[in-house]
């Protein structure tokens, strides 16, 4: 973990989410990864299942721009907070999220995502 720049890694990873780049994202994840988010609370295991999930998710959602807020190292990985603007101009609202990421080398073996909607700007 000491040789991996987690700030850069997190920013590059979130940029792939913004681009909805399924192949690019799978490059961050280990073949046997476990992924959990509010829609997949029971979890998804492996590249094939994650590819199918991401393809469907990205096809069903408007543009979403992810921006890292902060990241910090933990044993075996990192945690990161981020903001997401939904829609071309934010017309879909904003989210705030948090990722727990466990790594094997430079590949994500476990990713648990927590998200909540932010109040509309006044």
Tens digits of per-residue pLDDT, 46-57? 999 999 999 999
Let me know: does 72 contact 59? Beta carbons within 8 Å.
no
For 6-115, CATH gives: 3.10.450.50
pLDDT digits (tens, 9 = 90+) for 8-60: 999 999 999 999 999 999 999 999 999 999 999 899 999 999 999 999 999 99
**For the chain, what are the domain ranges?**
6-115
Distances (CA, A) of 55 to 17, 48, 107: 12, 11, 20
């Amino acid at each position: 973990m000491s040789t991996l720049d987690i700030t850069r890694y997190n920013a590059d990873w979130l940029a792939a989410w913004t681009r909805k780049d399924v192949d690019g994202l799978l490059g961050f994840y280990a073949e046997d990864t476990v992924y959990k988010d509010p829609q997949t609370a029971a979890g998804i295991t492996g590249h094939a299942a994650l590819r199918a999930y991401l393809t469907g998710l990205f096809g069903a959602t408007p543009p979403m721009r992810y921006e890292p807020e902060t990241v910090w190292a933990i044993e075996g990985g990192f945690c990161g907070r981020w903001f997401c603007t939904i829609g071309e101009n934010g017309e879909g609202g904003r989210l705030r999220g948090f990722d727990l990421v466990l790594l094997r080398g430079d590949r994500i073996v476990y990713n648990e995502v927590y998200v909540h909607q932010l109040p509309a700007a006044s």
